[in-house]
Amino acid sequence: MRKLILSLACSALICTHAEAFDFNTCAVVEIVITGDQNAHVQLDCAINNVPPCATANTYFAFDKSTPAGNQYLAMVMAAQAMNAKLTGDVDHSSCPPFQGNVAYLMHLRMLK
């Protein structure tokens, strides 16, 4: 029992917590705004776990007509202006109806 507790304590010190994101520490290359809803952003890295419809795997899209979309737009504009990095997740099962070839943004973080 003592060896088990000691080995668990040692493994807890060795293991690190890692969060898996679909894109991590990426820079904004381009921000595109069209129509009432469509906002999409190109990153300098590939986005992982995109749905099959997302053939442009360096882009994500969001609906800029929603409160969350306004927050995403402010964050990506600030990230581009500050040369900050973005980390986030996309919908793994569908693309937005207003931009059918990119991943739909679900979660966004800005890092400096």
Domain spans in the chain, listed from the N-terminal domain onward? 19-111
Tokens 């931009």 sit on residue: 99
Average pLDDT of the residues of the chain: 88
Q: What is the pTM of this model?
A: 0.81
pLDDT digits (tens, 9 = 90+) for 7-49: 444 444 444 344 689 999 999 999 999 999 999 999 999 999 9
Helix, strand, or coil (residue 106): strand
> Quick one: CA torsion of 19, 22, 28, 30, rounded to 10 degrees?
-170
Q: Right CATH number for 19-111 from 1.10.3470, 2.40.50, 1.10.238, 3.80.10?
A: 2.40.50
Rounded-to-integer distance, Cα 93 and Cα 41, Å? 19
pLDDT-derived band at 112, boundaries 50, 70, 90: confident
Instruction: Please write down the long-range contacts of 6-14, taking CB distance under 8 Å and 24 or more positions apart.
Output: none
